[in-house]
Amino acid sequence: MARFLIPLGVFVALAIVLGVAIKHSPDKENIASPLIGKPTPQFALPDLSEPSKTITTNDLKGHWYVLNVWGTWCVTCRAEHPMLLEAARQGIVPIIGLNWRDDDDEARAWLNKLGNPYALVIVDREGRTAIDLGIYKAPESFLVNPQGVIVYKQVGEITPEVWQKEFVARIKGTTAGKS
């Protein structure tokens, strides 16, 4: 009576699917970005320190850089800030800040008070570039290679471990999954 074995068979298949799902689950916490391996989206945004000046994607090509999305309203960004200062101090790669949906004066005051880890801060007041980058919460950071291709995205704050393992390792070319 083979048909009585069908339920068991279905369950075995299900158990396999669940097993695979568990294996993949650490990756599930954050939404996977479809932008990995693609060029940075085109943008033209004002510089925070000189609002009349516009920075475009092309201006940033030619060397590694980290794009860090932040805002003064973001509590986790505040927690991440010391790590960014430390990373900037190491001088391995410039950190470009993307000030997301914020107020220019408050942003400048924040950086004055807490220290400025950014080589440059561009301002996305309306959030369009953030959407192009697939941002859904702050802080998020992108690692971009000299050809302008996004090689890694970090959702949430950068911790010292993450910095070494995901960012520095890739820049120095010591990670297998570099790009």
**Candidate list 51, 62, 82, 127; residue touching another protein; CB under 8 A:** 127
Contact segment (CB under 8 A) with another protein among 16-24, 48-56, 80-88, 114-122 equals: 16-24
Residue with tokens 């820049």: 171
Q: Note whether 146 binds another protein by CB under 8 A.
A: no
Which residues are paired to 96 by β-bridges?
Answer: 67, 120
Q: Note whether 79 binds another protein by CB under 8 A.
A: no
Query: From the CB of 50, what's the least distance to another protein, in Å?
Result: 26
- Using CA atoms, how far apart are residues 62 and 65, in angstroms rounded to an integer? 9
For residue 1, CA distances in Å to 6, 8, 120, 156 come to 10, 13, 72, 54
| 3-class secondary structure, 154 | strand
- Using CA atoms, how far apart are residues 72 and 39, in angstroms rounded to an integer? 28
Are 44 and 54 spatial neighbours (Cβ–Cβ below 8 Å)? yes
Q: Note whether 75 binds another protein by CB under 8 A.
A: yes
- Using CA atoms, how far apart are residues 139 and 80, in angstroms rounded to an integer? 8
Query: From the CB of 126, what's the least distance to another protein, in Å?
Result: 8
- Using CA atoms, how far apart are residues 134 and 79, in angstroms rounded to an integer? 22
- If one counts every other C-beta atom within 10 angstroms of the C-beta of residue 52, the result is 6
Q: Note whether 132 binds another protein by CB under 8 A.
A: yes
**Candidate list 1, 50, 90, 177; residue touching another protein; CB under 8 A:** 1
Query: From the CB of 68, what's the least distance to another protein, in Å?
Result: 18
Please give the size of the binding site for another protein, defined by CB under 8 A: 39
| Token pair belonging to 105 | 């004066």
**Candidate list 5, 44, 79, 109; residue touching another protein; CB under 8 A:** 5
Q: Note whether 24 binds another protein by CB under 8 A.
A: yes
Q: Note whether 44 binds another protein by CB under 8 A.
A: no
> What does the binding site for another protein look like in residue numbers (CB under 8 A)?
1, 4-5, 7-8, 11-12, 14-26, 28-29, 31-35, 75, 101, 126-128, 130-134, 136-137
